[in-house]
Chain A
Amino acid sequence: MSEFALEAQGLGKRYGKKWALRDCTLNVPTGSVAALVGPNGAGKTTLLHLAVGLTDPTAGSVRILDRSARTEPQFVLPRIGFVAQEHPLYRRFRIDEMLKTAAKLNAIWDAELARGRLARLQIPLDQKVGTLSGGQQAQVALTLALAKLLVLDEPVAALDPLARREFLQSLMEAVADGGLTVLLSSHILTDLERVCDYMILLSRSEVQLAAPIDDIVGQHRVLTGPRSDPSAVDRVHSVVRASHTERQTTLLVRANGHLYDSRWQVDEVALEEIVLAYLGRQNALTATRQEVAS
């Protein structure tokens, strides 16, 4: 297996005049559990659909398992598992009929593994898919998809907090058992931090961050000090967010190398705060643009 499970180079997708995804360049290392985070409409689904070959890029290229899912589906598709948003399954089917479907449609299929997994989850095989709870449907969809590389589009979005936790728990067990690579998207960060080790932050069709979570947390700091102009700091490091009160300035910065400055109090910052800062920055930029325009 190559170093990267997913590589995108200048990837873009345009629907009509609107770019759903623009100039996306990123690498997801093999073996990582990567979270694709961003608000609704940021382009997450588009990126995942491009990756698994459900749609064609307008610009750039994307490779999954070192191949293109579009030109070499017979190589790529048997080796990946994709669960689309709202985990679509045939509602009229019983669970065992879904298993039979997966067995018939897939060149590589481990029926024992799937049955064992559903038995552990206490999902009865003779029940209709449509009568399962959202959490159970998500579990069935995941079971059908299990492969060396899992691509999951908003797997927990529709689940209540308990089901979300259980789903992620069982996903982690599968990862631990099989050494899988996972790429999952979500518009909420809650719970993801515990299961993911890599993060791609997507906002307004563009990649804001793509790095191991440890690196992201390690590089970002909050600086608090007397009110001042942040441009001095910005020359060395990059200021993600600056906020001022009458006497005090608070900066969230991505440090470029070691960060020490006696004028500032330097604190670590939680991942969620960093994500919010990046998303807020996008909004601020847009607001500025609109002000300039008007």
Chain B
Amino acid sequence: MIWLSWRLQRFESMLVAAALALAAVALVPLGLHIASAYNSGVSGCLVHGGPACGETIDSFRHRFEHAGLIIPWLNFLPGLIGVLFAAPLVLDFEHGTFRFAWTQSVPRGRWLAVRLAVMCAAALIATFALTVLMTWFRGPLDRVNGRMEPDVFDFEGIVPYAYTLFALGLALAIGVIMRRVVVAGGIALLVYFTLRVGLQTWGRKDYFAPVRKVWPAGTSGPGNLDHAWNITSGPRDATGHPIPVMHIYNFAVYQPASRFWAMQGIEAAIFGGLALLLFALAAWWVRKRVA
């Protein structure tokens, strides 16, 4: 059963491997470049400090400000991984081969359990590879900028696995109901992105009440601002209203870096929970409604 499950998704596994390889080709040369720039000066500055260090770090930050231009596009990958690994099981229902499988000796429940387990395992391994690649690529930048900004947050820690499982569950549930792999994959990707972007834009910043700080210009503000997710910042007056006449204050609304894992946990729980519901729906549909 495990051999069969693997064989049925071999083609999709190769597609996913190719997509990951493509991402690696795009990221590794730039990543090496960033790492070498980081090692010549910046890393020493972060550990020991020194004169001119602020300038060194600022120039490093500035130089690779746009290193992440392709990164938002890589958000496709967890969705793609999920949809591709859901495809073989959906194809079973589109082509009617589930009737072949269900009239062999293997019980239907075990058939479904092994198929789901093997596809989830493959999807999680692929996501692990993506996360490792991104974490390595972003490593030097993370030590300077933190990892709370969406471009980083979405690829590190545990949320990528939840994203993948969510896309997988979505494509699977829609697929077994519609029995059309291409349509189901398209709808799943659309819903996946809508929810991802929606939550990132309107939901995530309020997982915890953001910290609001106002401090006089010229004094050092909150120390952890560099590594935080900056939601709003800029010069304000003492009450936080924009553009003062006389006394300029700085103002920041942000999620501090210390909340990284808590926010990862919430986001992963949302997508992971939805994935579980979708898996349950797909399994229920397969066991009760199909035939």
Residues of A within 8 A of B7 (CB): 93, 97, 101
Best-surrounded residue of B11, B99, B103, B108 (most CB of chain A within 10 A): B103
Contacts A84-B100, A88-B99, A89-B97; is A105 near B105 (CB within 8 Å)?
Answer: yes
Contacts A105-B106, A107-B105; is A100 near B100 (CB within 8 Å)?
Answer: no
Give which listed residue, A54, A97, A108, contacts B291 with CB less than 8 A: A54
Whether A265 is near chain B, meaning CB under 8 Å from some CB there, is no
Whether B40 is near chain A, meaning CB under 8 Å from some CB there, is no
User: Smallest distance from the beta carbon of B11 to chain A beta carbons, Å?
Assistant: 6
Q: How far is the CA of A72 from the CA of B8 in the complex (A)?
A: 28
Whether A278 is near chain B, meaning CB under 8 Å from some CB there, is no
Give which listed residue, B3, B96, B99, contacts A104 with CB less than 8 A: B3
Whether A197 is near chain B, meaning CB under 8 Å from some CB there, is no
Q: How far is the CA of A11 from the CA of B102 in the complex (A)?
A: 21
Residues of A within 8 A of B96 (CB): 84-86, 88
Best-surrounded residue of A80, A100, A101 (most CB of chain B within 10 A): A101
Contact with A along B1-25 (1 / 0, CB 8 A): 1011001100100000000000000
Residues of A within 8 A of B101 (CB): 105
Residues of B within 8 A of A231 (CB): none
Residues of B within 8 A of A82 (CB): 99, 103
Is the CB–CB distance between B3 and A84 below 8 Å?
Answer: no
Whether A78 is near chain B, meaning CB under 8 Å from some CB there, is yes
Residues of A within 8 A of B107 (CB): 73-74
Give which listed residue, A52, A90, A93, A105, contacts B1 with CB less than 8 A: A105
Q: Interface size class for chain A? A: 20 to 34
Contacts A54-B103, A73-B107; is A91 near B1 (CB within 8 Å)?
Answer: no
Is the CB–CB distance between A90 and B99 below 8 Å?
Answer: no
Whether B104 is near chain A, meaning CB under 8 Å from some CB there, is yes
Q: How far is the CA of A89 from the CA of B103 in the complex (A)?
A: 13
Q: How far is the CA of A93 from the CA of B4 in the complex (A)?
A: 10
Interface positions of A from 43 to 81, Cβ below 8 Å from B: 49, 52-56, 73-74, 77-78, 80-81
Whether B247 is near chain A, meaning CB under 8 Å from some CB there, is no
Whether B213 is near chain A, meaning CB under 8 Å from some CB there, is no
Whether A106 is near chain B, meaning CB under 8 Å from some CB there, is yes
Residue of A nearest to B10 (CB): A92
Whether B95 is near chain A, meaning CB under 8 Å from some CB there, is yes
Give which listed residue, B3, B95, B99, B105, contacts A91 with CB less than 8 A: B95
Interface positions of A from 134 to 192, Cβ below 8 Å from B: 141, 144
User: Smallest distance from the beta carbon of B45 to chain A beta carbons, Å?
Assistant: 55
User: Smallest distance from the beta carbon of A60 to chain B beta carbons, Å?
Assistant: 17
Q: How far is the CA of A151 from the CA of B107 in the complex (A)?
A: 19
Residues of A within 8 A of B108 (CB): 73
Is the CB–CB distance between B99 and A102 below 8 Å?
Answer: no
Is the CB–CB distance between B99 and A108 below 8 Å?
Answer: no
Contact with B along A197-236 (1 / 0, CB 8 A): 0000000000000000000000000000000000000000
Give which listed residue, A52, A53, A84, A106, contacts B105 with CB less than 8 A: A106
Is the CB–CB distance between A89 and B100 below 8 Å?
Answer: yes
Residue of A nearest to B98 (CB): A88
Contact with A along B63-101 (1 / 0, CB 8 A): 000000000000000000000000000000001110111
Give which listed residue, B100, B105, B106, B291, contacts A49 with CB less than 8 A: B291
Q: How far is the CA of A211 from the CA of B30 in the complex (A)?
A: 78
Is the CB–CB distance between A90 and B8 below 8 Å?
Answer: yes
Q: How far is the CA of A49 from the CA of B11 in the complex (A)?
A: 31
Give which listed residue, B97, B103, B291, contacts A90 with CB less than 8 A: B97
Best-surrounded residue of B1, B3, B106 (most CB of chain A within 10 A): B106
Interface positions of A from 25 to 53, Cβ below 8 Å from B: 49, 52-53
User: Smallest distance from the beta carbon of A46 to chain B beta carbons, Å?
Assistant: 10
Q: How far is the CA of A90 from the CA of B8 in the complex (A)?
A: 8
Q: Can you offer 6 A-B residue contacts whose CB atoms are under 8 A? A: A56-B291, A88-B96, A91-B95, A104-B4, A105-B1, A105-B101
Of all A-B residue pairs in the complex, the 8 with the closest CB atoms, nearest first, are: A105-B104, A55-B291, A82-B103, A84-B99, A88-B96, A107-B105, A88-B97, A78-B105
User: Residues of B at under 8 Å CB distance from A?
Assistant: 1, 3-4, 7-8, 11, 95-97, 99-108, 291
Extra pairs beyond A90-B97, A144-B100 (7, CB < 8 Å): A84-B99, A84-B103, A88-B96, A88-B99, A93-B7, A105-B105, A105-B106
